[in-house]
Amino acid sequence: MNAAAPICNYTGCKVQIDGKCALGRDPVESCENYAADVEVTEALDEPEESRTVPPVQIWASDKLLLADYSALSRRRRLRTVALVGEEKVGKTTLLCSIYAMFCKGAFADLTFAGSETLLGFAKLQAFTLLSSGRSSPTVPRTSRRDPLAFFHLALARSRGDVVDLVIADRSGEAYAAARTSTDLIGTLDEFRLADRVCFLLDGERLASKDDRTAYTRNFRQMINALHDNGALVRANAVEILSTKLDITRRSDAADVGFLSDFEARVVSDFTKKGLAISSHEICALPKADRTVGIIGLDDLVRRWTQPLPLPDVAPWPVVDAPRQIDRLLSKIAGG
């Protein structure tokens, strides 16, 4: 390392320290000894070792992939919801509408407390805003080429505890393929992670007399395929969410009655098979009739974030205990 070169060759001058010329020259640059050529001495200090600063990882805040989900689950207790339905049924629209509700403030007795996927939500919401220049709100579709992704919302209750809600996002084409080729069901990782599975029922197709027969058959086949192949075993709750009420409510009374009857039949048939299933109606983004408004989202969020039951801490009953005292205690405890 080179030592700092002196700027004056007059012996005893401290202009380099205090800025004053020893000969009283003012300004100091007028002194003939100032800034004279001097020999630069080489210091004997050893050269500094080069140090590399590790790069800082910046969180992208886009959609979570499966590896990101696993990392987050090791830090927080997650509530995971899987939205199941064929293409254009409204899965992405529902995701966007839930986020939009919390952008306005408290919703469903919960307040927004953070998100690991803010950029991902912003991309979904971009086409629903007036600034997009579109005459009608819409959301981008999830492509079948896209891998399984997750959206995260941290929601706080009034007493301060936070619920980490994670919603799985997969293309409807992938679910349609799994319905017809059940070998693909084992590749749908969201079902082994989900606490709640929601089947979205397209009200627009049910309102169409041309589409309803084939669509209702495919809808029941989807639930059957997943149930028979064990994909719904881990779920604590299974729901049917009837979407697009802005369209079904504009239909005649017979169409509305068909929707209600179909929901009731599906719930009854699968309950008899031992599947705990319920049906609910929602309208996430009304376009056909905007006077209908947002319906059912507050109750939906409350169901998804409801407090978990306390764990059962009662001891397991002792069966065929080898010691007499254990058998006696088992009888006293009602075992």
Domains of the chain as residue ranges with CATH: 1-49 (no CATH), 66-305 (3.40.50.300)
Residue 57 confidence (pLDDT): 60
pLDDT at 134 over 90: no
pLDDT at 297 over 90: yes
pLDDT bracket for residue 327 (50, 70, 90): confident
Question: What is the Cα–Cα distance from 245 to 294, expressed in whole angstroms?
Answer: 9
Interacting residues of 171 by C-beta distance below 8 A, sequence separation 6+:
87, 141, 142, 143, 144, 146
pLDDT at 156 over 60: yes
Query: What token pair was written down for 30?
Result: 């007028």
Residue 70 confidence (pLDDT): 95
DSSP notation for 226-252: HHHTTTTSS-SEEEEEEE-HHHHTTS-
pLDDT bracket for residue 334 (50, 70, 90): low
**Residue percentage of the chain with pLDDT more than 90:** 50
pLDDT bracket for residue 230 (50, 70, 90): very high
Residue 83 confidence (pLDDT): 96
Whether the CA torsion 120, 297, 235, 207 is positive or negative: it is negative
Specify the pairing of strand 111-114 against strand 149-156.
antiparallel
pLDDT at 183 over 70: yes
Question: What is the Cα–Cα distance from 295 to 284, expressed in whole angstroms?
Answer: 7
Looking at residues 157-170, what average pLDDT do you find? 89
Question: What tens digit of pLDDT does each residue of 237-259 get?
Answer: 999 999 988 888 776 655 677 88
Question: What tens digit of pLDDT does each residue of 58-101 get?
Answer: 667 889 999 999 999 999 999 999 999 998 898 999 999 999 99
pLDDT at 174 over 90: yes
Mean pLDDT over each residue of the chain, to the nearest integer: 84
pLDDT bracket for residue 135 (50, 70, 90): low
Q: Which of 303, 294, 304, 306 is nearest to 97 (CA)?
A: 294
CB atoms within 10 A of CB 265: 12
Indicate the range of 18-27, 158-167, 176-185 predicted with least confidence: 18-27
Cβ–Cβ < 8 Å for 163, 301: no
Indicate the range of 18-22, 128-132, 195-199, 275-279 predicted with least confidence: 128-132
Cβ–Cβ < 8 Å for 280, 240: yes
Residue 43 confidence (pLDDT): 47
Q: Where do runs of H (alpha helix) occur along 88-200?
A: 91-103, 118-125, 172-180, 190-193
Q: Where do runs of H (alpha helix) occur along 249-312?
A: 253-272, 297-305
Cβ–Cβ < 8 Å for 64, 72: yes
More confident residue, 249 or 173: 173
CA–chain centroid gap for 9, Å, is 70
More confident residue, 137 or 267: 267
Indicate the range of 14-18, 261-265, 276-280 predicted with least confidence: 14-18
**Residue percentage of the chain with pLDDT more than 70:** 84
- For residues 98, 303, 225, 229, the Cα torsion angle rounded to the nearest 10 degrees is 120
Question: What is the Cα–Cα distance from 165 to 162, expressed in whole angstroms?
Answer: 9
The structure's pTM equals 0.74
Looking at residues 286-312, what average pLDDT do you find? 85
Looking at residues 110-115, what average pLDDT do you find? 94
Question: What is the Cα–Cα distance from 85 to 239, expressed in whole angstroms?
Answer: 12
Question: What is the Cα–Cα distance from 197 to 85, expressed in whole angstroms?
Answer: 11
